[in-house]
């Protein structure tokens, strides 16, 4: 059912998620008392031996389930891993996160989600992992993916959009991320163009969107989101630019409520974006949450460094910068640094 790999790695048989969720539901309904094997077997319509096997499988994932002969089972505690069973318990969405594929370690959740989308995974499927060996960032960079410290997830979407409209999906994901951090933790974050989520001027989260499309339609989009949650430190070269929720809040943060708030917010903003007038609404919310617009900026575009004031967001998600020479330049991709006014 589950096989324990060396260290804290597991493979999870996705087929048993439904049964295990039902066992957990029953155990959670009565944590103050024991539930007999017979009662569980009756409520779930399976043999006591099968119940025992599933309870053992849950234990391997870190659930502490007490079992006392003649009394029964009792759930003592749940693990902090981002298991589908935990994420779904409390999720308020219609379709996002109804299929969650969890692995302890992957190369990149985006790479796996691309494969799953190609094989027909439904819209709203989430791929999530505790660790990535080759987490990918924008512009060919790496994404530091320390085991069990961050949130690494990829969402499969199939919007009925033309490829030119794809950037608004990335912008809507940034909006959802900022709102989720506020909702789950009361943290005030801001968006640095195009989609870096910042706290106090340091990056806490990034989004990598990839897609398969033809001229006139998008087949699927993968929205990959990385959040630095319980990272206690970063390589020295990054320390001035990068932060984590732990460093900002000065306490460990439980990742599950953050993932739940994120999936709820993603569905809300995705449906808004798809609706009539929705793209403009998403753009307006992005503008409200932006820390870039109106600021003096330096933009690295390839080898060139452009200096000026970030004036506006283009309809295609591009950034307009009024250069010191007075010329307004459209930036399609690049790295923005805010320049302090002294
Ligand atoms: C950025 O450079 O700001 C984007 C970072 C995106 C990282 C996330 S982590 C989950 C998903 N899988 C990846 O390999 N990358 C994205």
pLDDT for 110-160, tens place per residue?
Answer: 999 999 999 999 999 999 999 999 999 998 999 999 999 999 999 999 999
- Ligand 1 pocket test target in 131, 208, 209, 225 with most atoms within 8 Å of CB: 208
In whole angstroms, give the CA distance from residue 148 to residue 104. Answer: 9
Examine the pLDDT at 10 and tell me if it is beyond 90.
no
Q: Ligand 1, residue 132: give the atom nearest the CA.
A: 14
Q: What spacing in Å lies between the alpha carbon of 85 and ligand 1's midpoint?
A: 24
Residue 274 has pLDDT above 80, yes or no: yes
- Distance separating alpha carbons of residues 258 and 245, to the nearest angstrom: 11
Token code pair at residue 215: 């001229």
Decide the pairing of beta strands 126-132 and 100-106.
Answer: parallel
The ligand 1 atom at the shortest distance from the C-alpha of residue 203 is 3
Q: Do the beta carbons of residue 333 and residue 341 sit within 8 Å?
A: no
> Best-predicted range by mean pLDDT among 17-26, 43-52, 205-214?
205-214
Distance separating alpha carbons of residues 40 and 20, to the nearest angstrom? 12
Instruction: Give the atom of ligand 1 at the shortest distance from the alpha carbon of 195.
Output: 3
Contact indicator for 193, 290 with CB cutoff of 8 Å? yes
Question: How far apart are the CA of 221 and the centre of ligand 1, in A?
Answer: 14
Name every residue whose Cβ is closer than 8 Å to that of residue 321 and which is 6 or more positions away in sequence. 297, 299, 306, 308, 309, 310, 311, 328, 329, 331
Q: Enter the pTM of the model.
A: 0.89
From 224, 262, 300, the mutation candidate for ligand 1 (largest count of ligand atoms within 8 A of CB) is: 224
Per-residue confidence band for 334, with pLDDT thresholds at 50, 70 and 90: confident
Q: Is the peptide bond before 194 cis (omega within 30 degrees of 0)?
A: yes
Assess contact for 27 and 73: CB atoms under 8 A: yes
């Amino acid at each position: 059912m589950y096989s324990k790999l060396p260290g804290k790695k597991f493979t999870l048989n996705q087929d048993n998620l439904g049964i295990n969720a039902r066992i957990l539901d029953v155990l959670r309904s009565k944590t103050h008392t024991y539930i007999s094997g017979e009662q569980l077997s009756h409520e779930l319509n399976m043999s006591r031996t099968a119940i025992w096997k599933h309870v053992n499988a849950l234990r391997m994932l870190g659930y502490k389930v007490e079992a006392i002969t003649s009394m029964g089972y009792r759930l003592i505690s749940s693990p902090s891993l981002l298991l589908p069973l935990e994420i779904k318990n409390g999720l308020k969405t219609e379709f996002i996160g109804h299929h969650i594929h969890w692995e302890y370690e992957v190369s990149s959740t985006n790479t796996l989600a691309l494969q799953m989308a190609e094989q027909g995974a439904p819209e709203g499927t989430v791929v999530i992992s505790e660790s990535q060996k080759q987490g990918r960032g924008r512009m060919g960079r790496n994404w530091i993916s320390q085991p069990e410290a961050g949130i690494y997830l990829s969402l499969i979407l199939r919007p009925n959009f033309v490829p030119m409209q794809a950037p608004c999906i990335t912008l809507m994901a940034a909006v959802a991320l900022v709102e989720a951090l506020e909702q789950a933790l009361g943290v005030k974050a801001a968006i640095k163009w195009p989609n870096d989520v910042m706290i106090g001027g340091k990056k806490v989260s990034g989004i990598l969107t990839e897609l398969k499309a033809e001229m006139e339609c998008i087949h699927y989009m993968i929205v990959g989101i990385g959040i630095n949650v319980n990272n206690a430190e970063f390589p020295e070269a990054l320390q001035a630019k990068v932060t984590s929720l732990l460093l900002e809040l000065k306490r460990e943060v439980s990742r599950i409520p953050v993932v739940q708030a994120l999936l709820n917010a993603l569905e809300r903003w995705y449906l808004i974006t798809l609706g009539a007038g929705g793209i403009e609404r998403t753009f307006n919310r992005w503008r409200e949450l932006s820390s870039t617009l109106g600021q003096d900026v330096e933009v690295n575009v390839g080898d060139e460094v452009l200096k000026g004031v970030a004036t506006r967001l283009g309809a295609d998600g591009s950034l307009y910068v009024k250069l010191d020479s007075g010329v307004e330049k459209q930036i399609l991709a690049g790295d923005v640094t805010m320049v302090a006014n002294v």
